[in-house]
Each structure stands twice: as C-alpha cells, then as structure tokens.
Amino acid sequence: MVNYIIEDNFKKGWILMNKNCLVAQSGGPTPIINASLQGVIESALENKEIKKVYGARFGISGLMKDMIFDLTKEDKKEISLLQHTPGSILGSCRYKLGELDEDVTDYEKIFDIFEKYNIKYFYYIGGNDSMDTVAKLNNYAKYNNKDLVVMGIPKTVDNDLLVTDHSPGFGSAAKYIATSVMETTLDSRVYQRKNVHLIEVMGRSAGWLAAAGALAGETGLDTPDLIYFPEITFSTDKFVKDLKEKAKEKDNIIVVVSEGIKDSDGNYISASESSKHDQFGHKQMGGAAKALVPYIKEYVYDRVKVIEFNVLQRAANHVASKTDADEAYECGQKAVEFSVQGNASGKAVVIKRTSNKPYQSTIELADVDLIANKEKKVPRDWINEAGNHVKEEALEYLRPLIKGELERKTEKGLPKYTDLDAAVTVKPKNDI
C-alpha cells in the first residue's frame, strides 16, 4: 500500500489508500436478509484486501446523506446474531436513481461518499429494483473511470428474480406460510361450523408464495383446498364455482390468495381504492381477500375469516429455513470473494441448483442487467389445469428450500436479536 499526501486550501494530511467496502440493504426485508449482511461483514473482515467495512443506513437514500457507519468496530458476537435477526438491520429504502443521460446529481453525491470513505467495493442487498441501482452505479463508474466494484446480492420473499434458481429469503417465507396454513387449518376445524378461511399472501406479479401454501398438505393434512395466482386470470364466477364444489365435500375450506390476482382487464382484485405507487411504479398492494368476502357470504358460507400475513411472512425468523439462511450467508460471503478476484462489477451473485435429491446448490455470478427490472413467474405447467392449485413439479421445486431449522438464540424466553451499535454517523477521519 502507498501513502499519498493530499493537500488543498482546507487541510493537509496523510491518507492511507486502503481498499474499504460498503454494504447497504434495499427494498422489503426477508426473514434472513441479515444473514447475507453477516456473510459480507465476516468475509470482508477476514479478507486482507479490505481494511474497513462500512454500512449505509437506509440504503442508497441514506448513503447520499452520509449516513455511514463503521461496521468494523461492531462486537463480533452481535454480528453472529445477524442471521437470527429479522428486518433490514441497516434500514432500507425504495429509491429509484434517474437515468444517466438525464440527471447525474444523485450519482455525484454517491460517488463523493465513495471517495470520502475510500470505498473500493460496494455491495447492495436487494431485489430486482435494487439490481437496477447496481446496474446504474456500475455504468456511471465505467463511464467516468471510477475504480469501484459494484455488486448485487439477491433477496426477496416473492422469489421473482430471474437467473437465480431461487431468491434468499423465499425459503423462510415459504416455510412460514406453509406452517401457518397448517395451523389455520387445524383451527378452522375446532367448531362444528361451516366456514371459509381466506389467507392472503404477498406476490404482486408472481405466485411463488401462494404456491408455497401447498406444502401444508405434505404432512397429511388435506389443505389448502384452493390457491389463486397472479399468473392466472381471476374470475369471481369461477371462484364461486370452485368454492361450491369444495362445499359439497367439506365444511371447512382453506383458500390461499395472492395479493396480485387480476381480472381479465388486468385490474387488481382489491378492496382498496388506493392508487398509490412507489418510485419504481409498483402499486401498493393488499385487500384481495377482503374483496372476495361478499361473494362467499352470498353464494357459499356466511362464516368467512380473512387472514393477511402481511409483514409477518417477511419477518418470521423464528421459523426460518436453515437451507435458506445458509445460502443467504454464502451469497454475502461469495460476493466479497468474487469482488476482490476481479471482473465482478455489474454482477450479482446467484444460486444454481445442481441437484434435487439430495438438494445441492452453488453460488455463481450473473450480469445484473439480466435481473434488474424483470420478473420470474411460476411456470404455467406447474399450476393445475383449473388454475387453482399446484402440480407435483412445483412441490419438487419447493420442498428442499424449507428444510432445516436455525438453532434458536434466546434470552428470557424470547428470541435474542442483534444489537449493532450503528447509532452514530461515522465522522470522516484522516486515516480512512
């Protein structure tokens, strides 16, 4: 390493030109998003090419405000608890960078921060919108000859990222949904009453989480009875017909509904009149199940319960899949390894399934442009002909992803979560 003297009208000082890294999180959390963060931190701390590990609060938005924290100073015991901690511990955002040929103001702010903290490697943990950010930052760096490696680390409970076999976070969300469908089914049978339980799960455009509800039937429970996907045009007439057929056989009917189901005109089935969208143009979702209640009460059973898992499906670390957590950690770990080896900028780490029985996977690199702003949907031939349940191919895909349990860390009978001391903005120093 070389020492350079930096001299201007304001200061004189020695700055050791070490290679530092910066990591941030973006988009909606998953139960194990912090496992990827842990993989980045621990791998970077062990790597001789990297001196300091910084974290940005609230994603790219906080980065531009210089909300940077020195993760190198964190207690290693607290870092080890990250995989057991739900929520994006660094904070998140949904911020869309403008096009490079329109306005570079944001880019200049961001790269000023990179230079201030001498960042050589930047890792962004997020979904397909976050990969858009990675792609744009990489392009800006190339066009302006910036010595920076920008990498994406995938996450999303929706499992809608292309290229990767599945997304870190999906397996744990799927496990929570399957478990909750089982529990709801047993609860629905408590009383000698006819009823319908509508379970609404996340999934704006892809029905992977809805499909995961089918895993509840793997243990011998005859549940769920019906599943509705964004991939299949939704008809209220057919929905009522499906329920009437089930009502001939059962007093207790369990239905899993994706929040993103649409009618033949492409309109969301929703009880909400809200037309709010985020910066990436995505409509704020919710209310599909509630919109279906009147149809059930009029034509099927008058006792209906709506269950919206909402944030629980992306926060339920207490039933996290060990397979999912291990892969999420490895994605963070491999991102650091690939970045220092070279030719990794503008790439994302992805999971490749190499074997189903026994399940095995590897972590590889893919161009982030193949992932950004794109969506992977449930294949039509994995959904039954009626469009209201899954076929064996979907179950074969899903089964390995929910396997294994994390060893619970508890305190006073409750989960023990990390308590990172990232509460004070790092001040610029001459030795960074």
Q: Rounded to the nearest 10 degrees, what angle do helices 236-247 and 288-299 cross at?
A: 60
Q: What is the spatial distance between Cα 131 and Cα 136, in angstroms, rounded to a whole number?
A: 9
- Element (H or E) spanning 154, and its range? strand 149-154
Are 18 and 118 in contact by the 8 Å Cβ rule? The answer is: yes
Is residue 101 part of the annotated active site? The answer reads no
DSSP state of 406: P
DSSP states along 213-237: GGGGGGGS----SEEE-TTS---HH
Are 263 and 233 in contact by the 8 Å Cβ rule? The answer is: yes
DSSP state of 430: T
**Cβ neighbours around 161 below 10 Å, total:** 31
Catalytic residue among 158, 160, 225, 326: 158
Four-residue CA torsion sign, 228, 232, 238, 242: negative
Q: What is the spatial distance between Cα 172 and Cα 160, in angstroms, rounded to a whole number?
A: 15
DSSP states along 264-279: TTS-B--S-----B-T
Measured CA distances, 5 to 15, 64, 391, 428 (Å): 7, 26, 66, 16
**What is the set of active-site residues?**
158
